[in-house]
Amino acid sequence: MLDVAPRVRQYEILPSLQPPGIPAVAPLPTGESEDTRRIAERFGDAVLAAGLHHGQQVVYIKPEQLVALAEFAKTDPHLRYETLIDVSAVDRSELPVSDHRFHTVYQLRSYSRKQHLMIVCPLDDGDEPTAPSLTGVYSGATWPEREVWDLMGIRFAGHPDPRRILMPENWPNHPLQKQVPLGGEEVPFTLTWEDPEFESLGKQILEAKSAPPKLPPGMSLEHMVINLGPHHPSTHGVLRLVVELDGETVVNVDADLGYLHSGFEKTGENKRYKDFVYYTDRMDYLTAMSNNLGYCLAVEKLLGVEIPPRAQALRVIMAELQRIASHLFWLSTHVLDVSGTGMSLLMYATRERERILDLFEMVCGARLTVGYMRIGGVSRDIPPAFLPHLEEFLKIMPEQIDDYERMLTHGPLWSERLIGIGKITREEALDMGLTGPMLRGSGVDWDLRRDAPYSGYENYDFKVPVANEGDCYARYLVRMEEMRQSLRIIRQAVDNLPDGPYRAEDRKITPPPRAELDISMEALIHHFKLMTEGFHVPPGMAYQGIESSKGELGFFIYSDGTARPYRLHVRGPSFNNLYAISKMSKGHMLSDVITNIGSIDIVLGEVDR
Amino acid sequence: MGLEEKLPEGIITTQLEALVNWSRENSTWPLLFGLACCAIEMIATGTARHDISRYGSELFRASPRQADLMIVSGRVSNKMAPVIKRLYDQMSDPKWVIAMGICASAGGPFNNYAIIQGVDKIIPVDVYVPGCPPRPEALLYALDKLRAKQAKDTFRTYAARQATPSSTQRGEIESLEALRQLQPA
């Protein structure tokens, strides 16, 4: 007789898929580093906790001492944290805690010592908190703090300009607070006119009401105040600048952002970790690969997963190709705005850019919003035709860059309009928290790829171009040289492309190969779990910055142990760099404002997020 | 027959409507106006490889007064919506709208507090292009579709469109039936 008793097979229980335990009340640091010890000694009881967390230096400080700590970190000769990179905040009201609902989080960087410091400041005042403003120490905190007020509802005492920055002035709530719903509409899937969904049809139409013009603070109507944007051919998207003019000389510039605010951070908090990768494509849509990379690295930091060498090399190739593509687009639009060579350079530069897009299409099927990287590696291996095409591209590209330079670098029109325009000194660049070519154009020798390497950048030999003049021309030269250096990196990566898997073989994070699904029940379960529930990320917080083509692109993730990020914050390089527009444009002519916008290289999708 | 035989060579006869539509089809000038990712593909459509000037649409006009076609290329946020409506109202008739990409068509992946779920909630749309973002070829196909629509335009429908307000204002529509009656036959 046949044995028909059900066979019970013990499956391996996946620790990361178990229901999470108590969510992280506060991701507390352990151990200590030289810097945290020094801060703890100096501030004594005001430091609530200090140490290392996922390899990051973290200090919890009481709000009373926050400004003093920032000043100490900036001026102390042993610390020298010159720059405030980012300000964000966490609303902990959905965690099982009753005190300190809001935490503000600050990222500091020391360029001279190659250090990163995270400061967390628990705020006392319950639902309407106030934090001390750091604008007195780092002027680069001005916009990020306005953003935190706008989206999170935290006031900053002593802030010089406490207005909303992204949402419309009369917006009723602060959307990132946890009690505010994601919003949106239900999608009607029916198609008859009788459906209740259509009742509102035609009634949703907005009136194009003119808002009464509000004069930004610091401007006076004695001069002429004009409006540049949000629909303007030279603002690279939907940026609005209010410009105060004395004759044709710029007296004051105020940027009005948020015309492309898409709620990325709130959306990210409602998506599983793996699903947000595709959203990052649409943030800075000119550097989709870099955005993918930054987000994946931040999640991988929390997961502690090891990435195979081939995946790392592929990521480097793609990120550098994307940098070239982004710089090409910057160049073509900048030239279109500035030099009057008409469309020719736009046509030339996009010709080469199309080649890069073809390469992307080969590996992932998309030109712009690639979604190529995955948490744990990349989505698929490169096809056989990829490398020959890449070789061809590497062969022609240096000549093309020389060609562009021949058209521009010594051209009288180009240099006339760029040299001496939009000057930023080294100190100002550090103070304002500028990154990327904006920083290197002002004489700060800093590149995250070299100084805080990720994805195996330490294995490549490349130079970091730096110019000291700090004007638009210096930034132009820096970016042109960066393209050449990117080609060098790709060359080395292609020559030493390792064999092996293209994603981590960790079945808790990456799905099993298709062939395995037919023969292995375990693979099927892994696959099902991954596709339905996603993976859980251990509680903690991580900040990961990468060198995108525009500067430091940072992702701050606060995980409570579930399959979705509890708090997801993006530090967009364009956002912080655009803060410089006012300082760069004052005293110059109106047409130089356009040069400056081009020189900052903004993408509004990332400024507004 | 008839007239053509008596005319000298080089002269053809046609309907005035067909002539007008032919010229509109071949010189639809878009508004120079980009919102998000799709704007980059729109620019790519304008450059050498895809070459939108084959359609006579290479003249992107910065002023809405000179533009015939609004390509809504990207997501429309709550803050931007009144601006888009204003721009549309500023364009002179006849005017057309292409909703490029899923965000402009229906909100796309951004079903949240910030984004309007489809630009057709604020302005009438002639052609919807799927894709995220649509390839330049898809935008060119949309232009083809638009040309087909323009070719069918008659003076009568054009006059009827003139009689109704170019856009429907809030409060003017009491029911769905009233909305349908507002539409030209």
Amino acid at B128: Y
Alpha carbon of A258 to those of A56, A261, A550: distances in Å? 32, 5, 19
Q: Which of A173-187, B18-32, B41-55 has the lowest mean pLDDT?
A: A173-187
Chain B closest-CA separation from residue A429 CA (Å)? 28
Please, what is the Cα angle at A387 between A279 and A547, to 5 degrees?
A: 40
pLDDT digits (tens, 9 = 90+) for B145-155: 999 988 888 88
Amino acid at A404: Y
Predicted confidence at residue A489, as pLDDT, reads 93
User: Closest partner residue to B79 among A199, A261, A357, by Cβ?
Assistant: A261
Decide if B135 contacts A367 (C-beta within 8 A): yes
Structure tokens at B59: 């003249």
Structure tokens at B101: 């990409």
Chain B closest-CA separation from residue A261 CA (Å)? 6
Decide: residue A6, CB within 10 A, 0-12 exposed, 13-18 middle, 19+ buried: exposed
List of chain B residues whose C-beta atoms are within 8 Å of the C-beta of residue A259: 77, 79-80, 83
- Residue from A262, A594, A604 whose CB has the most chain B CBs within 10 Å, to mutate: A262
Calpha distance A394→B169 (Å, rounded) = 56
User: Are B35 and A193 inside 8 Å of each other by CB?
Assistant: no
Alpha carbon of A541 to those of A145, A302, A360, B3: distances in Å? 20, 7, 32, 83
List of chain B residues whose C-beta atoms are within 8 Å of the C-beta of residue A281: 37
Predicted confidence at residue B182, as pLDDT, reads 58
Q: Can you list the pairs that A592-596 forms with residues at least 24 positions away whose Cβ atoms lie under 8 Å?
A: A592/A250, A592/A417, A592/A421, A592/A422, A593/A228, A593/A241, A593/A243, A593/A250, A593/A253, A594/A234, A594/A337, A594/A338, A595/A337, A595/A338, A595/A417, A595/A418, A595/A421, A595/A422, A595/A472, A596/A421, A596/A422, A596/A472
Q: What are A84's strand-pairing partners?
A: A108
User: Closest partner residue to A605 among B33, B36, B87, by Cβ?
Assistant: B36
User: Are B113 and A266 inside 8 Å of each other by CB?
Assistant: yes
ipTM: 0.84
Q: In what order do the strands lie in the sheet with A83-91?
A: A47-53, A56-61, A115-122, A102-110, A83-91
Q: Which residues of chain A have pLDDT under 50?
A: 1-24, 202-205
What three-state secondary structure class fits A412? helix
Average model confidence (pLDDT) for chain B? Answer: 82
Predicted confidence at residue A96, as pLDDT, reads 73
Predicted confidence at residue A509, as pLDDT, reads 87
Stated length of chain B: 185
Alpha carbon of A38 to those of A27, A60, A73, A341, B71: distances in Å? 21, 14, 10, 56, 58
Amino acid at A475: R
Residue A338 phi, psi (nearest 5): -100, -55
Q: With 60 as the cut, is the pLDDT of residue B167 above it?
A: no
Please, what is the Cα angle at B30 between B24 and B34, to 5 degrees?
A: 165
List of chain B residues whose C-beta atoms are within 8 Å of the C-beta of residue A232: 62
User: Are B122 and A206 inside 8 Å of each other by CB?
Assistant: yes
Predicted confidence at residue B183, as pLDDT, reads 55
- Residue from A150, A205, A275, A594 whose CB has the most chain B CBs within 10 Å, to mutate: A205
Which stretch of DSSP H or E encloses residue B90? Answer: helix B81-90
Q: With 70 as the cut, is the pLDDT of residue B179 above it?
A: no
Q: With 90 as the cut, is the pLDDT of residue B172 above it?
A: no
Structure tokens at A80: 């020298």
Decide: residue B2, CB within 10 A, 0-12 exposed, 13-18 middle, 19+ buried: exposed
Residue A359 phi, psi (nearest 5): -60, -45
Alpha carbon of A1 to those of A5, A7, A77, A410, B98: distances in Å? 12, 16, 84, 93, 72
List of chain B residues whose C-beta atoms are within 8 Å of the C-beta of residue A328: none
Decide if A145 contacts A132 (C-beta within 8 A): no
Q: Chain B residue closest to A348 (CA)?
A: B48
Calpha distance B44→B54 (Å, rounded) = 14
Alpha carbon of A11 to those of A355, A513, A517, A520: distances in Å? 48, 19, 16, 12
Q: Per DSSP, which regions of A70-201 are E strands?
A: 83-91, 102-110, 115-122, 130-132, 155-157
What three-state secondary structure class fits A29? coil
Task: Please name the residue that has the structure tokens 């009464």.
Answer: A212
Q: What are A255's strand-pairing partners?
A: A241
Decide if A92 contacts A69 (C-beta within 8 A): no
Chain A from 248 to 287: CB within 8 A of any B CB: 258-263, 266-267, 278-279, 281-282, 285-286
Predicted confidence at residue A209, as pLDDT, reads 59
A185 touches chain B (CB under 8 A): yes
